[in-house]
Amino acid sequence: MSDGIRRLAAVLILVAGAALLWLAGQHSHDAEAAKNDLDSTVAYAREHAASSDPRLKATYSFERGGWVYVHLEGDPATVGFQHGYLLAKEIEDAFPAVQAGMVRSTRRDWAFFRQVAREMLWPKIDPEYQQELQGIAEGLNARTGSQLDVYDIVALNSFEEVPDYYVPWLNKKEKLAGAPNLKSPGNCSAFVATGSWTKNGQIVIAHNNWTSYMNGERWRIIFDIQPAHGYRILMDGFPGVIASDDDFGINSDGLMVTETTITQFEGWDPNGKPEFFRARKALQYASSIDDYTRIMLDGNNGGYANDWLLGDRKTGEIAQLELGLKAYELWRTKDGVFAGSNWARDPKVLKEDTPEFDPNDMTSSPNARRVRWEQLLNENKGKIDVSLAQQMLADHVDSFEKKTGANERTLCGHVDTTTRGVSVWNWGAFYPGGAVQGKAADSTMAKDMRLVARTGHPCGEDFLAKPFLAAHPEFAWQEPYLRDMKAGTWTEFRSGEMPAASK
């Protein structure tokens, strides 16, 4: 408390000083310029006062290869405060983009999402993650004076599950006439391999994130989290969100985790626990494939339903957890490979959770990529390592047309290049979305808490917003948010690494 009072006193002194300056400046400035001076002095005072906050002692960040690396350390409230403070600029940039997408696709206003966050999601989140989410709002406010509160942050955290899972379920329940055509997303191409499939028998895991370029260009945070309880985490992520969410992460007890989303998934349990919270908890606390499965099943709400691809470097075992709501299946092996590209395969999950999905339509993106994964992985059996995984994430072979050229059917997706779009996700012609970044690791890297990551299309091609918007005015609504998505180079990150001494 006394720290808080001291900080407040420091702010007040600086504000008073600024006001005097403002009065003194009345002669030489016009009122508006003086007001700007006052505002910037207050902002400086706030930031300066907050920067000496003891909660920020152990935290730091740096940028490399297009990624923003943040080291967060401490109890849940402290980890949250550091997150909100260090990534304030990125959160304030990402929030309006995500918000615009959620409001537009669902035709629901932001008050709706805040209410869902407060009434349905918040009560089911463990206290430690409530504290972390609260901390994010506080850290953000301390840095910039942002008016976003914890329910805005919770709504942001739910951006993969509430708009495309809860809202269509609600529309159906309420028999809403003229409801928007909402479909669960189909994010990502990924695999995990082990045993005789890999070059030296260890686990290799790799993933590229498919999403809108608008959101995807902002999905470039590397989180190194050293929590007071549970295992240390190294994962990629999104500003303001406590889970990796796309997902790719490793923990210090040997778990290696990724997923691809289940296309045309339907269902929601309003009494379940939010997916973003379960996914973060599982990465932080799971010591084994069994632990991971147990945590994801506990309070499964059906939101952001994924095929989880898991590895345990301690045992060399890998697994696929196909997490439906009405049904689920777990496959595991110490010698094999599991790939994902947004298709379900368990007959019960297909029948009960994805009734509309057609696994035999080979023209569709999920099925075409499934065929391509099978070709690539079989061709390279026994040779798979991290550098080969990087090439696979950048693959541009269309298995349906049997030719090379990036489109919606290639593992490195470029949906903006095709008139077909991806109807099963309700992505229309030339939708500005596809593979937006990639990550990979093997067991040795996981043991050292290392991963490699590349921003932008994993193939290295740039997406340029201006010519795209000029050619496709139907996406003009994205203009305030859509940016160039330039590809970086594959860059290695390690838990606990410090920023380079000088630049």
Task: Decide: is 412 part of the binding site for Zn ion (CB under 5 A).
Answer: yes
Q: Which of 310, 256, 251, 247 is nearest to 279 (CA)?
A: 247
Q: State which residue, 328 or 431, has the beta carbon closest to Zn ion.
A: 431
Q: State which residue, 139 or 413, has the beta carbon closest to Zn ion.
A: 413
Q: Which of 300, 306, 321, 303 is nearest to 267 (CA)?
A: 303
Cβ(254)–Cβ(314) below 8 Å: yes
Q: Tell me the window of 187-195, 250-258, 363-371, 404-412 that interacts with Zn ion (CB under 5 A).
A: 404-412
Task: Decide: is 441 part of the binding site for Zn ion (CB under 5 A).
Answer: no
Q: State which residue, 296 or 487, has the beta carbon closest to Zn ion.
A: 487
Q: Are strands 255-261 and 248-251 parallel, antiparallel or unpaired?
A: antiparallel
Residues between 341 and 370 that touch Zn ion (CB under 5 A): none
Q: Tell me the window of 44-52, 378-386, 456-464, 495-503 that interacts with Zn ion (CB under 5 A).
A: 456-464
Please pick, from the candidates 46, 218, 409, 457, the single residue that binds Zn ion as defined by CB under 5 A: 457
Q: State which residue, 170 or 435, has the beta carbon closest to Zn ion.
A: 435
Q: Are strands 328-333 and 317-323 parallel, antiparallel or unpaired?
A: antiparallel
Q: Which of 293, 297, 343, 296 is nearest to 319 (CA)?
A: 293
Cβ 189 to Zn ion, closest distance in Å?
Answer: 11
> Residue 491: is it exposed, middle or buried by C-beta count within 10 angstroms (0-12/13-18/19+)?
middle
3 state DSSP class of 470: helix
Q: State which residue, 377 or 412, has the beta carbon closest to Zn ion.
A: 412
Cβ 246 to Zn ion, closest distance in Å?
Answer: 17
- Distance between CA atoms of residues 209 and 219, nearest Å: 9
Q: State which residue, 282 or 459, has the beta carbon closest to Zn ion.
A: 459
- Write the DSSP symbol of residue 306: E
Q: Tell me the window of 106-114, 198-206, 221-229, 406-414 that interacts with Zn ion (CB under 5 A).
A: 406-414
Q: Tell me the window of 176-184, 201-209, 350-358, 402-410 that interacts with Zn ion (CB under 5 A).
A: 402-410
Q: Which residues make Cβ contacts (< 8 Å) with residue 399, sequence separation at least 6?
A: 362, 368, 369, 371, 372, 375, 409
Task: Decide: is 71 part of the binding site for Zn ion (CB under 5 A).
Answer: no
Cβ 387 to Zn ion, closest distance in Å?
Answer: 17
Please pick, from the candidates 295, 392, 406, 453, the single residue that binds Zn ion as defined by CB under 5 A: 406
For residue 226, the cross-strand partners are 73
Q: Tell me the window of 67-75, 270-278, 421-429, 458-466 that interacts with Zn ion (CB under 5 A).
A: 458-466
51: region left, alpha or beta (phi > 0 left; psi from -120 to 50 alpha): alpha
The size of the interface with Zn ion (CB under 5 A), counted in residues, is 4
Q: State which residue, 412 or 449, has the beta carbon closest to Zn ion.
A: 412
Helix then strand then coil, in percent of the chain rounded to 5, is 40, 20, 35
Phi, psi of 3 (to 5 degrees): -60, -45
Cβ 281 to Zn ion, closest distance in Å?
Answer: 33
Cβ 256 to Zn ion, closest distance in Å?
Answer: 24
* Element holding 100 (H helix, E strand): helix 88-106
Q: State which residue, 68 or 459, has the beta carbon closest to Zn ion.
A: 459
Q: Tell me the window of 125-133, 143-151, 167-175, 457-465 that interacts with Zn ion (CB under 5 A).
A: 457-465
Q: State which residue, 389 or 412, has the beta carbon closest to Zn ion.
A: 412
Q: State which residue, 154 or 435, has the beta carbon closest to Zn ion.
A: 435
Task: Decide: is 459 part of the binding site for Zn ion (CB under 5 A).
Answer: yes
Q: Which residue has the tokens 């959101």?
A: 215
Q: Tell me the window of 139-147, 323-331, 372-380, 455-463 that interacts with Zn ion (CB under 5 A).
A: 455-463
Task: Decide: is 325 part of the binding site for Zn ion (CB under 5 A).
Answer: no
Q: Which of 127, 130, 174, 172 is nearest to 154 (CA)?
A: 130
Handedness of CA 384, 321, 307, 103 (dihedral sign): negative
Q: Which of 335, 339, 350, 249 is nearest to 305 (CA)?
A: 350
Which amino acid belongs to residue 389? Answer: A
Q: State which residue, 36 or 391, has the beta carbon closest to Zn ion.
A: 391
Q: Which residues make Cβ contacts (< 8 Å) with residue 188, sequence separation at least 6?
A: 207, 208, 209, 210, 246, 258, 259, 260, 261, 340, 341, 342
Cβ 454 to Zn ion, closest distance in Å?
Answer: 11
Query: Tokens at residue 7, please?
Result: 């900080």
Q: Tell me the window of 147-155, 221-229, 249-257, 410-418 that interacts with Zn ion (CB under 5 A).
A: 410-418
Which amino acid belongs to residue 235? Answer: M
Cβ 133 to Zn ion, closest distance in Å?
Answer: 35
Binding mask 39-58 for Zn ion (x = CB under 5 A): --------------------
Peptide bond into 30 cis (omega under 30): no
Binding site for Zn ion (CB under 5 A): 406, 412, 457, 459
